[in-house]
Every structure is written in structure tokens, then in C-alpha cells.
Amino acid sequence: MPERRSGLDVGRAGEDLAAAWYEARGYAVVERNWRCPEGEIDIVARRGRLVVIAEVKARSSDRFGLPVEAVVRDKQRRLRRLAMAWMRECGVRGVGLRFDVVSVLAGGVEVLEDAF
């Protein structure tokens, strides 16, 4: 019988895979799990003048739906606010901003670029 992993383990492994995906494509991962009182950004990646805010959703199965389906409008709005807070805190200006959703399902990585 396969070993069952906790949700925290699955999430951490998913974020590791997502970070590796960005790095393999020439992005620098500048933040992981950045937090402020309003919430958390899973990954902030940068390539040149483009900043990517990536929401990572990892699942061990699709029993409860596809990971990407969990990023609903409220989550999208929160991520936009968090991105602005991160940019203010880090003094980042004059960059392009893109929001991606990274879906990790059973070890496979799919990135929906410019998701919202």
C-alpha cells in the first residue's frame, strides 16, 4: 500500500516542483511563501522586467476536482491585493505583472500562464 502524505507535504512538494519549473525556464524565484497580514503568495518569480505571482495548487488525486479549479474569484482578488502589497514592501516598480496558476497533480506540473 502506498504511503499517504499529509496535505502539508503534498503542498510543499508541489511548490518545490513549481519553483523548479520556473527556474528551468530562466526565471529567478525571488520569494516563496511571502506572508503579510492579508495572506500569502506561494511563489514570486522574475525574469527581466516581468514579475510572476504564482498560486500553486497541489493534489495527490483529482477526487475533489482539479487543482486549478480551487482558484476562484475571491482568491484571485486576494492575490491581486497581495501582489500590490509585495510590490510596495519590496519597492518594485515599472515591471510587468502576470498571475499564473500552477496545478500539480500526482507529480505532474501544469502552468496556466496569465490565468487572470
User: What is the per-residue pLDDT across 42-71, written as a single tens digit (0 to 9) for each?
Assistant: 999 999 999 999 999 998 888 888 888 899
Range list of β-strands (E), 48-95: 50-59
Model confidence pTM above 0.85: yes
**Reported confidence tier of residue 16, pLDDT bands at 50, 70, 90:** very high
Of 2-11, 67-76, 86-95, minimum mean pLDDT range: 2-11
Give the chain's domains with CATH numbers: 7-112 (3.40.1350.10)
Q: Are strands 28-36 and 39-47 parallel, antiparallel or unpaired?
A: antiparallel
When pLDDT is averaged across residues 9-34 and rounded to a whole number, the result is 96
Predicted local distance difference test score (pLDDT) of residue 29: 98
Contact status, residue 14 vs residue 58, Cβ threshold 8 Å: yes
Predicted local distance difference test score (pLDDT) of residue 64: 81
Predicted local distance difference test score (pLDDT) of residue 30: 98
